[in-house]
A and B are shown apart, each in its own frame.
Chain A
Amino acid sequence: MIQLENIDFGYSKKRLLFENLTLELSRGHIYGLLGKNGAGKTTLLKLISGLRFIQNGSATVLNENPALRKPQMLQEISFLPEELYTPALKVNDFVRAYAPFYPNFSHEQFQNYLTVFEHPDPKLKIDKMSSGEKKKVLIAFALACNSKILIMDEPTNALDIPSKAMFRKVMASVATEERIVIISTHQVRDLHSLIDSIIILDSGKIILNESAEKITEKLTFEALEDTANATDILYEEDSVRGKSVVRENTTQKETKLDIELLFNAVMLNKAKIQQLFNPKK
């Protein structure tokens, strides 16, 4: 459904951000897109949704070239950006202006999501709302579009504690087999039970793109009292129980994926972990 093949992209002609990047995403998954600040996460999302254009290679999104921005493709993409677009419109006027672009938009769902997120004051103009309230409106809008591709850049930032739980509930119920959800986030603790595939981007390169199942098949995440006698440690950090450790999984037994540990392990041991997942290369 989303295919980037050997693409190049840079904001300046002299320095490319992405060089020869390849990425394939398929329906029925919630992808967690992780990377440090400046790794290129938001740019990648913009290339997928036709907000920026690749310079070389090929991009296919829902069988279309996103740079052509065809309506039949755009109406199937909802993009919740990190920096929200919040015009001086009342919620009803906002919906009246933008919902017609999305043929599957459901007004009933939209109202329902506002209620679920307990939006305190939907009568205000959007630009006068607090950042959490703005976010609630725009998440509700993005969900109500019922699009095949749902892209969310830091969706839980600014959400209050009950809304984060509601967000997870709602996302678990809208993640259908026909849909691709991509969530770019630093808040992995908010979302770890929701994400089933992980993409790690570093300095414009895809370091990892694997399902959670595959990751726990290859790696174990454990707490050890001490690591003096432990072998194959890819990453360790101090924790209350001694050390939190990432190791190569040499057994059939799976442990619980710890996304933060995984990310740190990948940053520290890129080559080794990549080799573990792609032994051919």
Chain B
Amino acid sequence: MDFRETQPIYMQIADWACEQILLDKWTLDERAPSVRELGARLEVNPNTVARSYDFLENKEILVNKRGVGFFVASNAADKIREFRKERFFEEELPVVFKTMKLLGIGMEEVVKMNF
């Protein structure tokens, strides 16, 4: 992973984990990699990975089964979309609007793009 973005590393790891879940690489019945495993794999301090997992647990995307490890929550995909949507409207969209304003692009022009 490349940690050059402006997001804190723990958040980048959380995003990456969400992607693994949406791509079905981390599945429901499987234990997520341990903090230590993932730390070594991503060359990151295990405390940082622990913080990412705490965050994902808070968002009800991961479930901590004491003594066993972290598992993907049954409705993780919905929760991920919920939280990503929130972030899209709060953080990502304002940047797009700012660029549109800067370049003089109107909404009609965007709608015409028909994505």
Show the binding face of B for A, using Cβ within 8 Å. Answer: 3, 5-9, 11-12, 36, 39-48, 51
Assess whether B40 is in contact with A192, with CB atoms less than 8 Å apart: no
By secondary structure, the A interface counts as: mixed
Q: Known contacts A28-B47, A193-B3, A194-B45: does B8 contact A255 (CB below 8 Å)? A: yes
Residue of A nearest to B1 (CB): A193
A165: B residues at CB distance < 8 A: 43
A193: B residues at CB distance < 8 A: 3, 9, 42-45, 48
Q: Known contacts A28-B47, A193-B45, A196-B47: does B40 contact A173 (CB below 8 Å)? A: yes
Chain A contact patch, size range: 20 to 34
CA distance A192 to B5 in the complex (A): 13
Q: Known contacts A213-B51, A222-B6: does B36 contact A196 (CB below 8 Å)? A: no
- Chosen A-B contacts, 27 in total, with CB atoms closer than 8 Å, are A28-B47, A165-B43, A169-B41, A169-B43, A170-B40, A172-B39, A172-B42, A172-B43, A172-B44, A172-B46, A173-B36, A173-B39, A175-B39, A175-B45, A175-B47, A192-B3, A193-B9, A193-B42, A193-B43, A195-B45, A222-B6, A254-B8, A255-B6, A256-B3, A256-B8, A256-B12, A257-B8
CA distance A170 to B11 in the complex (A): 22
Assess whether B7 is in contact with A256, with CB atoms less than 8 Å apart: yes
Residue of A nearest to B5 (CB): A256
Assess whether B40 is in contact with A169, with CB atoms less than 8 Å apart: yes
Q: Which of A30, A170, A216, A223 contacts B45 (CB 8 A)?
A: A30
Give the distance to chain A from B60, nearest Cβ to Cβ, in Å.
Answer: 20
Closest 5 CB pairs of A and B: A168-B43, A173-B40, A172-B39, A196-B45, A254-B8
